[in-house]
A = this chain, B = another copy of it.
C-alpha cells in the first residue's frame, strides 16, 4: 500500500494509448441518437458498460425532481422534409441533428413559407447544421444548413414527416461505484444527452469510460463514483435519490468537452476553495497555457451540483468549453475536432487531479523539536557542504514535510508552499514514514 500510494493513481497510464482508446470509443458513440431520454441514451450506456460496470436507473415519466417533472420519453424512427417531387431534401438519416430535439410527431404538407418558420439555421456558418432542442415546448422543427434553407421556395409545397413517439417512459442514467477504503466519495460526472456532437460531449463520455476502466484496477483510498446522465435533469434526478448521502462527496469533477486541441480549463466550484479546486489548480499550474476560472452559474452540470441548496465541492474540467469554440452546438463539432493526443492529455490531467485528491494526507512529526538527525537514517549525505541545491528537490521535500508536519498541513499544503511537485512531496513523506519520523494524523 505504501508503494501504491507513492506511485499514485496514474501509475501505468500510457496517455498515447489511452487517447487512442478514447478516440475509438468516441467513434462508436458518435452516431447513437442521444437526447434527454430514449433508446439512444440506453445504447450509449450499454457501450460504456463494456468498459466499466454500470448500474442503470430508469426514472418514470411524471416523477417530480425538485422544481421539475420527468418528461415523456422521446424516440424517433424517422424524420424528413420532402419537396413536391417526393425527394427528401432534409433527412435525419444524414444527421440526427436535423430534428429539433423533442419534436412531437407530425405528418403534413405545407408551403415553403410556412415551413421556414419551423427551421433553425446558422446564417454566419451556411454549411453547418445547428443543434437545438425544445424539451419543454409542444412543438416540432428542423435544424438545417443555411444552404438547405435558402433552397426552399416560399410558394412550393413540402411534405414533412416526424415519425416519433413522445409517450410515458423513462429518463435513464447510469453510475459506476468504484469502492475505496473509505465511504467518502469522489464524484465524476458527464452528460449523455447530446446527439452527434463529438467534443460536446462524446469526448467526455468516452474519457470517463476509459478512466473508469483504469481505476477499476487500482487500489483507492476514497470511493469513486462515475455518473453518466442526461444534462440538467440527470444530475438532478441522481441528487434527488441520494440526498442522504451527499455529505460523502468530498470532491467532484464534471468532465466534458475534453477532446479538442485547446488548452485545459478548470472551472472552480461555487465555494471556490475546496479540495478539488486546490488540486486542479495545482495540477494545471504545472501545465503552461491551461486556465483556472471562477465559477459562473451557467455551463454544464456543475450548475446543479453547485446550486445553493447543494453547494457541493464540484468543479468542471474541459478543454474549450461550451460556447467558446465556433463549432459549438453545430454539425461542425464532429470527429475532426477531437484528437487522441488531446483526449489522452485530458485523461492524464484528470488522473493527476484524482491522484492529489486520493494521495493528500496530513502527517504529524514524531520528532517535532528541532530537525531530526536525517544522516543516521540514510536520508542525508555524510559529508555536508550546506543547504540543498535547487535540483535536490527530494531533499528539500524531506525538510518541508518535516517542518510542516504539525497536523495543520496536508501534503498538498506542503507542495503548494514548497512549490514542489506533489509526487515528490508524497514520495518524501513516504520515506519519512518508513523512517518512523511521521505518523498519519488520526
Contacts and interface: CB of A to CB of B under 8 A. Distances in A.
A387 B256 CA distance: 15
Interface string A375-407: 110000011111111000000100110111110
Nearest to A388: B298
A403 B373 contact: no
B67 A136 contact: no
Contacts of A385: 130-132, 329
Contacts of A406: 308, 311
A297 interface: yes
Contacts of A371: 67, 232, 303-304, 307
Nearest to A384: B133
A185 to B, nearest CB: 19
Given A136-B375, A304-B371, A368-B308, A383 B120 contact: yes
A386 B235 CA distance: 17
A139 interface: yes
Contact of A376 (B136, B367, B369, B404): B136
For the residues of A in contact with B, the DSSP-based class is loop
A200 to B, nearest CB: 9
A372 B367 CA distance: 55
A134 interface: yes
A282 interface: no
As for how many copies of this chain the complex holds, the number is: 3
Contacts of A383: 100, 120, 132-134, 137, 139, 141
Interface residues of A, number: 64
A134 B382 contact: yes
Given A308-B368, A382-B134, A387 B323 contact: yes
Nearest to A409: B308
Contact of A137 (B132, B382, B399): B382
Contacts of A372: 66-67
Nearest to A295: B403
Contact of A298 (B131, B135, B329, B396): B396
Nearest to A134: B383
Nearest to A137: B382
B136 A368 contact: no
Interface string A399-436: 11011111000000000000000000000000000000
Nearest to A437: B67
A370 B307 contact: yes
Contact of A308 (B303, B310, B384, B403): B403
A328 interface: yes
Contacts of A137: 375, 382-383
Contact of A369 (B135, B310, B370, B375): B310
Interface in A297-328: 297-299, 303-304, 306-311, 322-323, 328
16 contacts: A67-B372, A120-B383, A136-B375, A139-B383, A141-B383, A232-B370, A235-B370, A239-B369, A240-B369, A303-B371, A308-B365, A308-B403, A308-B405, A310-B368, A322-B387, A323-B387
